[in-house]
Amino acid sequence: MAILSILSAAGAPAEAYAGAAAVAGSALQLCPAPQGAVPQESVLTHPDGRLLQVQLRAATAALPSCASLSLPVAPAAVTAIHALTPAQAASLAGTLLVQMDAGGERIAAVESGAEAPRQGRQAMPVQENLLPLLTVRPYGVEERIAAELKDGRLRIDCRAGAKPAGLLLAGPWHLSAAAMRLRAAVSQPSPAGAAFALGVADAARAAREDAAVIGALANETSFALPARLDGASWQHFSIACPEQAAQLELASLSLQPVPGKAAGRSAWVWQAKQWMEEGDSVLAWAARHGLRTLFLSVPLTAAADGMAVAQPERLAAFARRAAAQGIALWPVDGDPRMVLENEQPATLARLRAYAAYNAAADAPARLRGVQFDIEHYLLPGYERAAAELDRAYLALLRGLRHEAGSLALEFVVPFWWSGKSALLVGLAEHASGVAVMDYRTDPAQIRRFAQPFLDWGVAHKKQVRVALEAGYLPPELQRRYARADAGEAWLVQLDGVPMLVLLKSAQANPHGASFRLQSERVLDGSATTFHADPAALLRLLPALEADFSAWPSFNGIALHELK
């Protein structure tokens, strides 16, 4: 399996630093990996298939059998090295962001500092004022309308006239597959008898220059969207002038989910001894937080035919007590290495163990399904082997579905998979549902990241949980670099492999682009986890649950590291 690692120069062989103070230069080398080496922290697969090891050595200690690039700095001047994909390297034209551990010794991610262009139409955001995000275009042959969008408010001034005139309000969106209403807040209503008509058009209506009128704008009104509207091809909202002269100021326009059926919360119990030895406490904790599903770490043991649940009687007893309290149990299993070819048979054996337990258990003691938290993108060097590892992930999904029988299969996925069409197609084919790691604390971001998956669930009749984080996350260092004649970050190429080399001080790069350190900041995790303020999480849950329940696919909020 081709895997490229994230490599810290501090992890290079000891001989790389021998006599560093006395040596003016160093050699960045790609050497044949030792016999039997597996892809890990210092090993990568070259595009031609060779398994190589990244090494930084003193110039005098360079190995002649290795591809080598001379660097005019001592090894001790290099703080970290990170191999890139060609696409990554090509994107680093002006600025770059480097995500590192708090000590600045290990690179976790490298990306362009420029904002990436949005791919395709996005789901229209909910519970947000759309006005600042809309493009406003007047229509009408008499040019009898004037409009100004300023500070999030839309002011409209219509002169008298008999011919149609108004505004089209458009954006790069589609409507989500949920029950929604459009709410308009009017800060300056039109004069009595001068009604501004609010409309909406999908692609078919827009082609006919038509709009479905959904109501007249008054002080503050909530409008139902037409049942036959094709939300996927939404084109614009419209505001039509009355025939008489009139003015209107619109303070906000927002999409409001219509709450549907309530869904139960869920959470993880990662330590098996908690439910095995402190079951009463676990169930009391679940009742306190309104949990209806628990994802349990369930110990397995070797068996004659593969693997088996280690203590089935204890699991059955706990499952019966949970069922009496209305709580479903799912074992949670997973490791990034599960996608590797030599690990997949053992992964399938683990699923067979859960299925065998269920086959032997009575109804109250059965597991509701199995959740897999694989996260293969965390394997070292995923960037360079993404396509291959994604194919391996899909192959594993197929195998798991074949072995699962009647067991439901749920997979934990990151929110940024909303753009991974091949993976979403595979999940739609093999999964019963997903739990989306929507690890943000800003409500607007949480909603935006959840929407594509909730829509996916509706389209494919799959269940979607939205997971939020409450556990501790270590701080990270984020550095921003900008292109310069000399800098602390160098982009180099060695034997066809682009690499980013970080230095202690700014110097000119003789082999390519240099980037000068502009700023750095410590990310304390407050944008990602509610660990510092769990009360804020609990306060936010009812509103999020009400909004997400507008999607038939919503299967509740999953809480990670809930205390």
Cα distances (Å, whole numbers) of residue 552 to 268, 294, 460: 24, 21, 11
Q: Using H for helix, E for strand and C for coil, what is the string for 436-497?
A: EECCCCCHHHHHHHHHHHHHHHHHHCCEEEEEEECCCCCCEEEEEEEEECCEEEEEEEECCE
More confident residue, 327 or 37: 327
Q: Rounded mean pLDDT of 96-122?
A: 83
Dist CA 559 CA 464 (whole Å): 14
26: Cβ–Cβ under 8 A, 6 or more apart, which residues? 16, 20, 56, 57, 58, 59, 70, 71, 73, 74, 75, 77, 78
pLDDT at 19 over 90: no
Going by their DSSP bridges, the two strands 554-560 and 463-469 should be labelled as parallel
Question: What is the 8-class DSSP label of residue 120?
Answer: S
What is the Cα–Cα distance from 321 to 276, expressed in whole angstroms? 12
Is the pLDDT reported for residue 32 higher than 60?
yes
Pick the more confident residue, 545 or 18.
545
Task: Kindly compute the dihedral angle of the four CA atoms of residues 52, 58, 64, 67, in this order, to the nearest 10 degrees.
Answer: 40
Structure token pair of residue 293: 């599903």
Here the tokens at position 357 are 């337990």
Indicate the pLDDT class of residue 503, thresholds 50, 70 and 90.
Answer: very high
Tokens standing for residue 6:
């994230």
pLDDT in tens, 394-439: 999 999 999 999 999 999 999 999 999 999 999 999 999 999 999 9
Average pLDDT, the chain: 90
**Number of alpha carbons in the 13 Å side-chain half-sphere of residue 217:** 30
Secondary structure, 3-state, 390-413: HHHHHHHHHHHHHHHCCCEEEEEE
Q: Quick check: pTM over 0.85?
A: yes
Per the structure block, which two tokens stand in for 183? 């709410």
pLDDT > 60? residue 41: no
Looking up tokens 């704008």 gives 217
Q: Which two tokens stand for residue 324?
A: 């009496």
pLDDT band for 52, please (50, 70, 90 cuts): confident
Q: Which residue has the tokens 């630093």?
A: 17
pLDDT band of 352, cuts 50, 70, 90:
very high
Pairing of strands 369-372, 408-414: parallel
Instruction: Quickly state the pLDDT bin for 383 (edges 50, 70, 90).
Output: confident
The C-alpha R_g of the chain, in whole angstroms, comes to 29
pLDDT score of 16? 36
End-to-end CA distance of the chain: 39
Q: What is the pLDDT of residue 118?
A: 62
Report in angstroms the alpha-carbon separations of 243 from 159, 160, 165, 188, 195.
8, 5, 9, 18, 9
pLDDT bucket at 143, cuts 50 / 70 / 90 = confident
SS3 content of the chain, % helix, strand, coil (to 5): 30, 35, 35
Is the pLDDT score of 191 beyond 90? no
> Other C-beta atoms within 10 Å of 410: how many?
28
